[in-house]
Amino acid sequence: MTEQNADPRRWWALGFLALAQFVVIMDTSIIGVALPRMQADLGFTTDNLSWIFNAYVIAFGGLLLLGGRLAALLGARRLFGAGWALTLAGSVVAALAGTAGVELLGRVLQGAGAALIAPAALTLLMTLFGARPRELTKALALYGAAAPAGGTAGVFLGGVLTQWLSWPWIFWLYVPISLVALVATPLLMPSAPARRGAIDVLGALAVTAGLGLVVFAVVRAPQLGWGSAATLGALAGGIALLALFVALQRARRVPLVRLGIFRTPGLGGANLAQFLLGAAWIPMWYFLNLYLQQVLGYGAFASGAALLPMTVLIVVLMVAVAPRLIARFGAKPLIIGGLWALAAGLVWLSFVRPTGTFVIDVLPASLVAALGQALAFIPSLGTAISSAPPEEGGLASGIVNTAYQIGSALGLATMTAVGVSFGAGRLGDPVALTGGFSAAFLGAAGIAAAGGLLTLATLRRAARPAEAAQAA
């Protein structure tokens, strides 16, 4: 697109694309402080409460690569609109839910909508600015900044809406946003003709269902027993579906994931780091919310406000500090150091007390954990994207995002099982709850520490510092 025929609406369009990124990320953080209220109103037990989060990220992560393929074939504008329509439907279902099952259906629809919105938004951004390198840099910076901003806003808005209105309003919030986006999409976004090509729907369904079964088995194992027929059957079924997904990718002429891409130096190690980072960070965020409300007695707003220092630190480090550190030291030292700092913060959090205070038991440890998350996230993301050939940058981006979402779901499922086994399900007993939460923090610390060791062993050739910083 030349200077003369540049779309004059492109900056307005960028605003809505940044809004899409903002909303997708906010949808994972806004529910945190509402979890205890939702548990009481909808009948969730402690061991299945994590499904409010996992239902979203499994649908999002499992369908993300399919969303990228559909955007290429059907046109990004069509898919962008379809994603907002699904988000609208899911938000209404989640807001009106009177039972746990209906609530989870709404979250699945929201996750599926995000899986269509995210790849379509990036495709539209490249269509609008790809031929204008100077503007592209600015557009990507604004688009990227919307992610940490969405995470921060979710923590704050979740507390405000839950405290002074009620938890359904965290879902009603998405209704006007989705309606505005549906109106704006045909007016602002560039169109592209549909193309012919194969769509591996079976592969996408296999990986999504396989992940769901594995998470289901892990979450219910403390209640049913790890050796029970139900647990082993669900695990076997999930693993079989994941094996089917891999077999389909090998057999397809045009797969969702070209498996050979994992032979690219640096790509596998960076994706493993993202997977384990999500598996350690999300359990910390989840159980810290529960500790603040169920043990310390914080209200929803106070709980959200208590998490703001940690969230703001992440935003500042990711946006202003991490790219400079990558350019100076390279990605690998930051990934390893960040994962180990996250592990240290989680070990510190494991010393929380039933009669603890925010200033002593939560604030310093959470800031150390946030430091580790921010240092490791950007370089591992940038390394994964910059390690792939330029023509497969979109696929690499989809894979690394999927790795983080899948790691989040499996890590939270595993740590929920650990926490419940040590007392996290005994509501009204602060001592037992604290023991369960401490066990979950320690388990997550083990994941982060192992992530640092595995990164040291597997990330043999990271991308050049400048490339990783630019990709991040």
- Amino acid 462: pLDDT: 46
Question: Identity (one letter) of the amino acid at 37?
Answer: R
Residue 197 has pLDDT above 70, yes or no: no
- Whether 90 has a pLDDT exceeding 90, the answer reads yes
Q: Which residue has the tokens 């997904």?
A: 245
Position 297 scores a pLDDT of 86
What pLDDT is recorded for position 340? 95
DSSP characters for 36-56? HHHHHHHT--TTTTTHHHHHH
Contact between 154 and 303 (Cβ < 8 Å):
no
pLDDT for position 73: 76
Please say if the pLDDT value at position 323 is more than 70.
yes
Q: Are 330 and 383 in contact (CB under 8 A)?
A: no
Q: What is the pLDDT of residue 441?
A: 95
Distances (CA, A) of 345 to 361, 396, 442, 448, 449: 11, 30, 10, 10, 11
What would the pLDDT profile of 1-22 be if each residue is shown by its tens digit? 444 455 677 778 888 888 888 8
Which of left, alpha, beta for 463 (phi over 0: left; psi -120 to 50: alpha)? beta
Whether residue 464 has pLDDT greater than 70: no
Rounded distance, CA 111 to CA 95, Å? 15
What is the rounded average pLDDT of the residues 362-377? 90
Of these ranges, 66-80, 109-123, 334-348, the one predicted with the greatest mean pLDDT is 334-348
Reported confidence tier of residue 341, pLDDT bands at 50, 70, 90: very high
Q: What pLDDT, on a 0 to 100 scale, did the predictor assign at position 449?
A: 94
Instruction: Encode pLDDT of 160-172 as tens digits.
Output: 888 888 889 989 9
Q: Would you say residue 466 has pLDDT above 70?
A: no
Which pLDDT score, from 0 to 100, does residue 4 have?
45
- Residues 181, 186, 192, 197, CA torsion sign: positive
Which tens digits make up the pLDDT trace of 148-195?
Answer: 677 777 777 888 888 888 889 989 989 999 998 899 888 878 776 666
- Other C-beta atoms within 10 Å of 176: how many? 10
pLDDT of residue 203: 80
Per-chain mean pLDDT for the chain = 81
Buried b (16+ CB within 10 A) or exposed e, 60-83: bbbbbbbbbbbbbbbbbbbbbbbb
Torsions phi, psi of 252, nearest 5? -70, 140
Task: Please report where in the chains the tokens 């609109």 appear, as a residue.
Answer: 81
Taking only the tens place, the pLDDT of each residue in 401-457 is 788 888 888 888 888 888 888 887 787 788 998 999 999 999 999 999 999 999 888
Q: Are 212 and 58 in contact (CB under 8 A)?
A: yes
Alpha-carbon span 403 to 42, nearest angstrom: 30
- Say what the pLDDT of residue 463 is: 47
pLDDT at 388 over 70: no
Predicted confidence at residue 17, as pLDDT, reads 83
- Judge if pTM exceeds 0.85: no
Please tell me the predicted confidence (pLDDT) of residue 137. 66
Mean pLDDT for 208-237 is: 80
> Residue 184: which residues within 8 A CB-CB, separation 6 or more?
12, 16
- Residue 3: its pLDDT value, please? 46
pLDDT at 58 over 70: yes
Share of the chain above pLDDT 70, in %: 90
